[in-house]
Amino acid sequence: MGNETETPSSTADILIVDDTLANIQVLSAMLKQQGYKVRPVLEGKVALKAAEKQVPDLILLDISMPEMDGYEVCTRLKQNPNLSQVPVIFISALTEPLDKVKAFSVGGVDYITKPFQLEEVRVRVENHLRLTRLQRLMEEYNHNLEEKVIEQVNEISDSQLATILALAKLAEYRDKDTGRHIERIQHFCRLLVTYMAGMPGYSGQISPIYIDNISHASPLHDIGKVGIPDHILLKPGRLTPDEFAIMKTHTMIGYNLLQSVNERYSHNSFIKTGIEISRSHHEKWDGTGYPDGLKGTEIPLSARILAVADVYDALRSKRPYKESFSHIASSKIILEGDGSHFDPDVIKAFIELEDTFERVYADLC
């Protein structure tokens, strides 16, 4: 894609696709001022040819255009192996939730509503270019690993973990209220899975490698939130049903991101665990969760463990729309979800570890 990994983001190549000349001019002027290389086009077909001729680092794409709308342009981009990894940010006057959901479903990574604010566009562009660079760093690092390390899926180097953690931090840093959330999640998951390794029926499923994988991959559970618009992710209040529908897409955004890595490194069990967690950590034991409505043991064990850790930490943490709950109140809510929201076996482990959970939260709050 476009520039090399070490190239500063300010020299990134950005393709702007919009049939309104005024929008093209305003966006081009702002991005050029930031030092980006800008290529403006007015039609979808022309945009595809321009992208094929020179692969851009990022595309800003309108939806309502004659002959070929933005949805079709994005679909064709994702069908082209050379262009499928280019991040696409939709910029559109369409405000219906279904329009936004469709934009994400065809491969968009973000959605900005017109009339747009230039500062918002600047920050979104910068964020997604940063994410793309981090993903390339991870891919390049893995590509240079010795064959022995690639095949030995139980070997996860400090450098790999640092790169993965950087990706997870990119999702977390947008929401300052989460604090040290992913660090606590790692501790909680390791506590639960280690305890469950000694429970009947799990000794053959939970190995030392599995314990390390779930601990190290747990920070990836919300990586898909990099694709959720700020006005939803950072809303200082409860989400409307339509906003929540968009928020729920973070599971599939994260899944698709990690799946693209897995396609290249299919023997890496660490990445596979991250895929399970990112997609399924909002599934519920009784089948009422999302995105797939999985039930019981259809839900990967890693996601069932992460669900308890994540909900406990969310309850304990202060958010824009709620105050923090005490350990006693949080534990009571967790236990009320036994057999409905949560796996009964994970709850058994949680009961034995309640005091330790409280200490971990106090140490890392």
The string of pLDDT tens digits covering residues 163-215 is 566 666 666 555 554 558 888 999 999 999 999 999 999 988 999 999 999 99
Count how many domains the chain has: 2
Q: In this model, does residue 287 exceed pLDDT 50?
A: yes
Residue 8: per-residue pLDDT: 41
**Does one domain contain both 115 and 80?**
yes
Above pLDDT 90, what percent of the chain?
Answer: 66
Q: Find out whether 302 and 273 touch, Cβ atoms under 8 Å.
A: yes
**Does one domain contain both 128 and 160?**
no
pTM of the prediction?
0.57
CATH number for the domain spanning 357: value is 1.10.3210.10
Residue 150: per-residue pLDDT: 43
Residue 348: per-residue pLDDT: 97
Number of neighbours of residue 320 by Cβ within 10 angstroms:
11
Q: Find out whether 38 and 18 touch, Cβ atoms under 8 Å.
A: no
d(CA 273, CA 254): 12
Average pLDDT, the chain: 87
Residue 138: per-residue pLDDT: 72
Q: In this model, does residue 322 exceed pLDDT 90?
A: no
Burial class (CB in 10 A: 0-12, 13-18, 19+), 214: buried
Residue 144: per-residue pLDDT: 59
Residues 93-144: tens digit of each pLDDT: 998 999 999 999 999 999 999 999 999 999 999 989 988 888 777 767 666 5
Q: Find out whether 40 and 28 touch, Cβ atoms under 8 Å.
A: yes
Q: In this model, does residue 272 exceed pLDDT 70?
A: yes
Nearest to 109 by CA among 87, 94, 130: 87
Residue 4: per-residue pLDDT: 39
Residue 29's domain comprises 9-132
Burial class (CB in 10 A: 0-12, 13-18, 19+), 259: middle
d(CA 100, CA 123): 19
SS3 state at 90: strand
Q: In this model, does residue 230 exceed pLDDT 70?
A: yes
**Does one domain contain both 162 and 100?**
no
For residue 142, is it within any domain? no
Q: What tokens appear for 184 in the block?
A: 């606590």
What strands lie across the sheet with 37-41, from one edge to the other?
37-41, 13-17, 58-61, 88-92, 110-113
Residues 80-103: tens digit of each pLDDT: 999 999 999 999 999 899 999 999
Q: Find out whether 62 and 92 touch, Cβ atoms under 8 Å.
A: yes
Q: What is the chain's Cα-based Rg?
A: 21
In sequence order, the β-bridge partners of residue 112 are: 91
| Helices 327-336 and 301-316, axial angle in degrees (round to 10) | 140
Stronger pLDDT, 76 or 9, i.e. the higher one = 76
Residue 228: per-residue pLDDT: 86
Nearest-5° Cα angle at 50, 44 to 52: 105
Q: Mark which of 98, 132, 166 sits at the end of a domain.
A: 132
For residue 147, is it within any domain? no
For residue 3, is it within any domain? no
**Band of pLDDT at residue 3, cut at 50, 70 and 90:** very low
CATH number for the domain spanning 97: value is 3.40.50.2300
d(CA 126, CA 186): 28
Residue 30: per-residue pLDDT: 94
Stronger pLDDT, 219 or 78, i.e. the higher one = 78
Burial class (CB in 10 A: 0-12, 13-18, 19+), 17: buried
d(CA 154, CA 151): 9
